Amino acid sequence: MLLNASGCLDALTAPETARALDAFVTKTVTPLPRAGNAPIRIVETEAGMLNSIGLANPGRERFLADVLPRLRELGVPIWVSVGGFAAGDYAETCEALDGIAAIELNLSCPNVDAASESAAEIVAACRTATDLPLVAKLSPAAWDVAEHARAVAAEGADGLSLVNTIRGLALDETTLAPRLGTAVGGLSGPALKPIALAAVHACARAVDLPIVGMGGVRTGRDALELLACGASAVALGTVLFSDPEAPVRMRAELAHELAARGLGRPEDVVGIAHEDRLRHRKPLDLARKALV
Amino acid sequence: MLLNASGCLDALTAPETARALDAFVTKTVTPLPRAGNAPIRIVETEAGMLNSIGLANPGRERFLADVLPRLRELGVPIWVSVGGFAAGDYAETCEALDGIAAIELNLSCPNVDAASESAAEIVAACRTATDLPLVAKLSPAAWDVAEHARAVAAEGADGLSLVNTIRGLALDETTLAPRLGTAVGGLSGPALKPIALAAVHACARAVDLPIVGMGGVRTGRDALELLACGASAVALGTVLFSDPEAPVRMRAELAHELAARGLGRPEDVVGIAHEDRLRHRKPLDLARKALV
Amino acid sequence: MRRERLRVVGVEAVGPYTLLRVGRGGLDPGAPGQFFMLEAPGRLLPRPMSLCLAPPGELGFLVDPIGPGTRALCALGPGEELAVLGPLGNGFRLDVQRPLLVGGGIGVAPFPYLSEVLRRPPALLGFRTPAHAEAAALVANAEVVLEPEYVTQRLEPGRDVLACGPEPMLEAVRALAPAAQLAWEAPMACGYGACYGCAVELGGTWKRLCVEGPVLRAA
Amino acid sequence: MRRERLRVVGVEAVGPYTLLRVGRGGLDPGAPGQFFMLEAPGRLLPRPMSLCLAPPGELGFLVDPIGPGTRALCALGPGEELAVLGPLGNGFRLDVQRPLLVGGGIGVAPFPYLSEVLRRPPALLGFRTPAHAEAAALVANAEVVLEPEYVTQRLEPGRDVLACGPEPMLEAVRALAPAAQLAWEAPMACGYGACYGCAVELGGTWKRLCVEGPVLRAA
Ligand SMILES: Cc1cc2nc3c(=O)[nH]c(=O)nc-3n(C[C@H](O)[C@H](O)[C@H](O)COP(=O)(O)OP(=O)(O)OC[C@H]3O[C@@H](n4cnc5c(N)ncnc54)[C@H](O)[C@@H]3O)c2cc1C
Ligand SMILES: Cc1cc2nc3c(=O)[nH]c(=O)nc-3n(C[C@H](O)[C@H](O)[C@H](O)COP(=O)(O)OP(=O)(O)OC[C@H]3O[C@@H](n4cnc5c(N)ncnc54)[C@H](O)[C@@H]3O)c2cc1C
Ligand SMILES: Cc1cc2nc3c(=O)[nH]c(=O)nc-3n(C[C@H](O)[C@H](O)[C@H](O)COP(=O)(O)O)c2cc1C
Ligand SMILES: Cc1cc2nc3c(=O)[nH]c(=O)nc-3n(C[C@H](O)[C@H](O)[C@H](O)COP(=O)(O)O)c2cc1C
Ligand code: FES
Ligand code: FES
């Protein structure tokens, strides 16, 4: 299953790209409209990029009234990414959502202040507000991400999205001032890939929820690696910026990687990186709820 | 001030390199000897590397009896990196140390189980055990590293080392099994640089302690950037693996970068990346205790 | 918009700039002022470049080597390939009566193509040095202004100004010619509306320059 | 040990391997079995390579292109430069009476130099394919063994064995010739004792192969 990473595709300006996905994930929607952060908002780093978009979005009301109906016309299952600054914010948006495939709870944007409640408390609040599948998006900026995975699983999350960006900073070569308007931004791209693999690997051992893996995926092999670490689906982020045709290419490359290794279908490789290391343990339970 | 990053140089096998530094930092010493983790222990990633050395070291007794005396003969100030699995471990080692320039408390090795106490509790225990300068080495794998900086500062840390590696994983191209014997290891090198800059930047605003900046430094410009973000000293890690002459080169490059920008001495650039953003705030207090 | 791997057919120095010509493949050249995202070898993100020339079968870009991405583009050699996405954004409106092209520095880039389409209107091009001013040779009917003089000092009234150049120049042009069409710049990660990196404040709200621009009517 | 930027003077295919020759600069060739860390263009970490040949003014390395680093080394062209650090580690002890060189695959790499120094003793070299066996031409008095046959099947007793090859081969040699000198491999980040990445279990404790090896006496 192939998705875009939240904030890395606008299905309305690139419908062809969105239609090539199994589900389209919206940019994070907050209760009130947000202009986002002051420029500069993006900068390239070594094998990665920083962004400080700051959850620019039209806000819940306009999203529901103007954007969502147009997204529905695309004929692609929709996941709405929900953000906020308090558990109540999240829950209210969840309550207002209907007729979509899933809700992704953005519990981990490095570019805005976090809610005062813990990720688990937010998931608990949202769980009472909706019956839609709830996918908790976690940050790799944690000493033990698996602990957070367990906590949100206990509160009723149906899946995990791993990983969001991690805070980084870059300076201007000449002025030595931070290049981003906000100084600090979120690191994405290939530099993040080992961190994403480690997070998926750890959480797949900790909980039994399906995982959407993301972080630095550029090729079918990267997608294969996330699956092998335990992801059931893969999301494309930064790679879409250089290649709007990445979804089609990625499927072809993944099929090729699988065939070259005699490995069957994508579903069959979920978790295989664990096999050796789980030899003397309880095998991973790979039977998971489908989310779309 | 130029140091090596702990675990990235053995002064006894490379005395020339160590003598080119302002202080030599030992590999982390634990109470008991540790063989370290099973191979494979290192693997290259995109613009970075993972290691799972696992604090291989001769243990406190042999370190004090055999290693430290030989290190002292080098004529370079010595920082001893101290690790453990409980606050008492750290404190006992601190108590046994004497006649060195500083103690670096490794509160953040991603390759071994962390102590059950918090970083602040460990610093507090060590503070009562020694009068030597205590430098707390923190992990960037935290939602808010500045919070940890404040906590260890409150317990009497004299400085911060930022950053340690962050957990990552890489798979073998052919087998799709984790390449490292421990599956997960610590990510270092250029991929870590934006994360290190962000951590130094955040902590320099949060506390008034001198900071040893490290993470992906390869060139004099990288060193300059850490200083600009607020580090008072720079440590070389991964770069030493490809270039044991890096300390000499780094000083030359840093001098060149400073001269090209008309920027004076290294001390003069500490924190200058903040200037713009602190214009309307209390200026950074850059007067800091010297550690060596 | 379409993405193809195109082959470099020519790399020529134009003063300090480089004119990079690639085979057009199946890409549409679009309208003057539109841009393309060019893969910069060894870099993660592509770089936005205005279409400079559109001879049959080719696309030409004028590149100012100011950083790693543009330097990598200038270092390409004939026969090498790069992925190109476009045409993107909104170009200049061409329904103008008395056009005057006003450019500064690398802002000259979209004008050779624009000048052809508008049948060689007068152009006023400002440059830092005579070497940079060599790029003026790519534009018909161009009058060169060298620093310390500025193009705005020679702007005659009553013209439909189409301008491209550094932000301070565009602000100055806008002050003198409120109806001018201005081609702006912002760092862009994607060029097609995906990243929200290129947001600029426009009429009180933030818009994506790659979608609503890069050419905007002065307010 | 010393580090210098050296210039590539030759790149030749030897079966599937590449013989990379660089100007020696001020580096000492060291003893046979010692190794150098070679900068692999575009990679973060250098790669360990045994010295294969030491003609006057040159250092020669035989490289098996098995991954990104070794492929980058094989892709170097004459005139290009790379940083080289060495000589490193402990080579073969040369105080042997009846030497026999035993190699497998790319394990042949240190033997051309070793063979010269030991005055061309007999060598027993195992390879997977006849193409790989082309590398045997670099070693004097070499007898080639092709899979499915193994070198250990031809090992005569009473020889001072000096061996280099894949781990299973070294284990098999050690079983037959307990006093053999064996050149081992481990992934190395630094090659000079800094990283503890190359640790191997040796006599009950873990030792750094780059410091205590790569040539070890069989226990
Ligand atoms: C629509 C559009 C069309 C363009 N057309 C051309 C063209 O035809 N020819 C040409 O040479 N350049 C053009 N540019 C600018 C070009 O895209 C940038 O110079 C390039 O992306 C810089 O990449 P780099 O890696 O070389 O430098 P970087 O390292 O990315 O940047 C170097 C310095 O320039 C600043 N910078 C980078 N990009 C921009 C930007 N877009 N706006 C303002 N400051 C920036 C950075 O902050 C940094 O200080 C265009 C830009 C846009 C948005
Ligand atoms: C002392 C020493 C001397 C050597 N001499 C030579 C030589 O003369 N010629 C030559 O071609 N090679 C030699 N090697 C091996 C060579 O260093 C590795 O093949 C190379 O580092 C692999 O880098 P890569 O980027 O091409 O592949 P990588 O992507 O690093 O590795 C590809 C695969 O090989 C495995 N691997 C990598 N390095 C080693 C290793 N050292 N031991 C076991 N498995 C490994 C990896 O786990 C991976 O599965 C030597 C190694 C050592 C330690
Ligand atoms: C420009 C940009 C904007 C993003 N916006 C959001 C967002 O609104 N909500 C969210 O949950 N994640 C957001 N992310 C994070 C991505 O969804 C993804 O987790 C991250 O980029 C890692 O994947 P990648 O390396 O493939 O890009 C954004 C990332 C980028 C680069
Ligand atoms: C091989 C290796 C071993 C390390 N061992 C230690 C250690 O024993 N103690 C410690 O505090 N940090 C250790 N580190 C972390 C480094 O000190 C440093 O924080 C990190 O590598 C980031 O710097 P770099 O990117 O310049 O390498 C080790 C890093 C590497 C690569
Ligand atoms: S450049 Fe990505 S939205 Fe405009
Ligand atoms: S390779 Fe680094 S210690 Fe041996």
Q: Which positions ≥6 away from B60 have C-beta within 8 Å? A: B29, B30, B31, B32, B92, B93, B96
pLDDT, chain B, mean: 92
What is the Cα–Cα distance from B6 to B24, expressed in whole angstroms? 9
What percent of chain B has pLDDT above 70? 93
Distance from CA of B160 to the nearest CA of D (A): 23
CB < 8 Å to B190, chain D: 44
Nearest neighbour of B198 by CB, restricted to A48, A169, A177? A169
Ligand 2 close to Cβ of residue D68 (< 6 A) = yes
Split at pLDDT 50, 70, 90, the class of C25 is very high
pLDDT, chain C, mean: 95
CB D162 within 8 A of CB D114: yes
Q: Nearest chain A Cα to C88, which residue?
A: A13
Whether residue A50 is predicted with pLDDT greater than 70 in this model: the reply is yes
CA of C106 to the centre of ligand 1 (A): 10
Stretch 112-171 of chain C: residues touching chain A, C-beta under 8 Å: none
CA of A180 to the centre of ligand 1 (A): 15
Mind giving me the DSSP string for C152-209? Answer: GGGPPSS-EEEEES-HHHHHHHHHH-TT-EEE-----SSSSSSS-TTEEEETTEEEEH
CA of C46 to the centre of ligand 5 (A): 11
What percent of chain C has pLDDT above 70? 99
Strand partners for C86 = C2
Reported as a single tens digit per residue, the pLDDT across B202-213 is 999 999 999 999
Nearest neighbour of B245 by CB, restricted to D3, D190, D205? D3
* Residues belonging to chain D: 219
Ligand 5 close to Cβ of residue C197 (< 6 A) = yes
pLDDT the model gives residue A280: 35
Contact A53 C1 (CB under 8 A): no
> What atom in ligand 4 is closest to the CA of residue D195?
1
Q: Nearest chain A Cα to C200, which residue?
A: A39
Whether residue A281 is predicted with pLDDT greater than 50 in this model: the reply is no
Q: Which residues of A are catalytic?
A: 109
pLDDT the model gives residue C204: 77
Whether residue B251 is predicted with pLDDT greater than 70 in this model: the reply is yes
Reported as a single tens digit per residue, the pLDDT across B14-36 is 999 999 999 999 999 999 999 99
Could you tell me how far CA D85 lies from the centroid of its own chain? 15
Nearest neighbour of B197 by CB, restricted to A48, A140, A169? A169
Reported as a single tens digit per residue, the pLDDT across B264-286 is 999 999 999 996 543 333 333 33
CA of D17 to the centre of ligand 2 (A): 13
Ligand nearest to the CA of B179: 2
pLDDT the model gives residue A79: 98
pLDDT, chain A, mean: 92
pLDDT the model gives residue B285: 37
Question: What is the mean pLDDT of the segment spanning C101-128?
Answer: 97
Whether residue A277 is predicted with pLDDT greater than 70 in this model: the reply is no
Domains and CATH numbers, chain A: 2-291 (3.20.20.70)
Split at pLDDT 50, 70, 90, the class of C28 is very high
- Chains C and A in direct contact, meaning 3 or more beta-carbon pairs closer than 8 angstroms: yes
The fold for domain D2-88 equals: Elongation Factor Tu (Ef-tu); domain 3 (2.40.30)
What tokens appear for C147 in the block? 């620093």
Question: What is the mean pLDDT of the segment spanning A91-96?
Answer: 97
Ligand nearest to the CA of B244: 6
Split at pLDDT 50, 70, 90, the class of B110 is confident
Digit-by-digit pLDDT tens for chain D (219 residues) are 999 999 999 999 999 999 999 999 999 999 999 999 999 999 999 999 999 999 999 999 999 999 999 999 999 999 999 999 999 999 999 999 999 999 999 999 999 999 999 999 999 999 999 999 999 999 999 999 999 989 998 898 889 999 999 999 999 999 999 999 999 999 999 999 999 999 988 777 888 999 999 999 765
Reported as a single tens digit per residue, the pLDDT across B179-194 is 999 999 999 999 999 9
pLDDT the model gives residue A15: 98
Reported as a single tens digit per residue, the pLDDT across D161-204 is 999 999 999 999 999 999 999 999 999 999 999 999 999 887 77
Ligand 3 close to Cβ of residue A274 (< 6 A) = no
- Partners of chain A (3+ Cβ pairs below 8 A): B, C
Whether residue C185 is predicted with pLDDT greater than 80 in this model: the reply is yes
Q: Give the H or E element holding residue A148.
A: helix A145-154
CB D178 within 8 A of CB D218: yes
Of A214, A277, A261, the closest CA to residue A240 belongs to: A214
Question: What is the mean pLDDT of the segment spanning A227-238?
Answer: 96
pLDDT the model gives residue D219: 56
